[in-house]
Amino acid sequence: MKKVTIPEKDVDTIISCTSIDVSKTRLVKIPGTSADTRVYKVDIDLPVGEAYIVDTPAGARLASMPEIVGLELEKTALEAAEEAAKFFEYIHEGEENVLLLHVLRASTGYMLNVAMEKRMKTENIYVRVRYDESSYRDHEGREARAIYTKVGKLVGDSYIIVVADTVATGNSVIEALGRTIKVLNFKNVKLKEAYFYGFMSLEGIKNISSFLSEQNLSRVIFLTIQDITPLSSNKYDMPLYGIDEFAYSEKKEKRILGSIVDRATLKRMLPLYYPGMDQPGDWSERQCKLFNGFFYERGDIEGHLKRSLEMLEKLREIQKGEEWYREWHEQIYNERKERIKNILSIKKYC
């Protein structure tokens, strides 16, 4: 495929015609991170905590390429997680025990547990959260509840909790945190700080922050991959920018969404990302191996790829007449489409 080149004036047009906000980021230096990794402090008001963005080439690929699945997903996610782990190691300073909260089934796909275990001693707790009804691409009005919890022996009397998960509304993480806090209280263990990593929406971050404001923690950190996303009207899709497909298809409403992102990150992602696509995609179904609390099972990778292909087609149909839509969007559309079809034809995911 021909390399996509984005003129600066087109970057300006995308920003001005969507809800993208490039005014809230400030570059911060994190020792030990790779030369092409950028970490940004984000200026947003939260009940408690601070928000950061980690921008890496691997993170840009994860967010923009739904065809990255299976073993390739593990490799790419670990590459991004290694940089996140360096950030957490830097702010952690080795003072407290670290407890990894695994929100089953999808959270281990971020590979942060692997990256963290290389750098510090960690312990684990597993919580399975399920929505009360089938919820693919529709979390509006759904209730999340914890149905499984497993915790090993805890050697410390206080912990920093680290959570890697996709945060759309934040309901699943809040439910898992609530269950974890009950377990820790029962064991007379104090939770001192909380760190979060993954694709996260602004709404989800605020909801988790509000929940934690009642927990008397000394520090709360949100580290998002590439950007802080908007949330589609279905409370599921988390695009970088683009038309809210669900609102358009279901309600005939045209909502153009945009993330909080640094301009440099936006320029890194624009040549790869097709507008409107959900950045994490169906994260659990992109994975080879999912632990459900009882046994391992395969993600529905083929289903994820087919749904991504269908979404590409829908988004192109409703966006191709927009004033900000350019010929290079067609190049990206064709590349994503051909790569997804190629992966589907090979059928070697795991």
Q: For 29-154, where are the alpha helices, taking DSSP H only? A: 57-64, 70-92, 112-117
Crossing angle (nearest 10°) for helices 301-319 and 327-346 = 160
Q: Note the pLDDT of residue 1.
A: 62
- For the chain, what are the domain ranges? 8-346
Q: CA–CA separation, 264 vs 269, rounded Å?
A: 9
Provide the b/e sequence for 322-341 (b: ≥16 CB within 10 Å): bebbbebbebbbebbbebbe
Provide the b/e sequence for 87-120 (b: ≥16 CB within 10 Å): bbbeebeeebbbbbbbbbbbbbbbbbbebbeeeb
Q: CA–CA separation, 310 vs 279, rounded Å?
A: 15
SS3 content of the chain, % helix, strand, coil (to 5): 40, 25, 35
Q: CA–CA separation, 198 vs 170, rounded Å?
A: 12
Q: For residue range 145-159, what is the model confidence (pLDDT) as tens digits?
A: 766 678 878 888 999
Tokens matching residue 247: 């609102």
- Read off the pLDDT band of 96 (50, 70, 90): confident
Question: Side chain identity at 259, as an amino acid letter?
Answer: S
Residue 27 has pLDDT above 90, yes or no: yes
Average pLDDT over residues 107-131: 92
Average pLDDT over residues 232-261: 96
Alpha carbon distances (Å) from 111 to 68, 105, 118, 172, 275: 15, 13, 11, 19, 26
Degrees (nearest 5) of the Cα angle 65, 69, 70? 160
Q: CA–CA separation, 128 vs 294, rounded Å?
A: 10
Q: CA–CA separation, 141 vs 62, rounded Å?
A: 28
Tokens matching residue 329: 């969007």
In contact, 126 and 291? CB cutoff 8 Å: yes
Q: Note the pLDDT of residue 242.
A: 98
- Read off the pLDDT band of 305 (50, 70, 90): very high
CATH class, 8-346 region = alpha beta
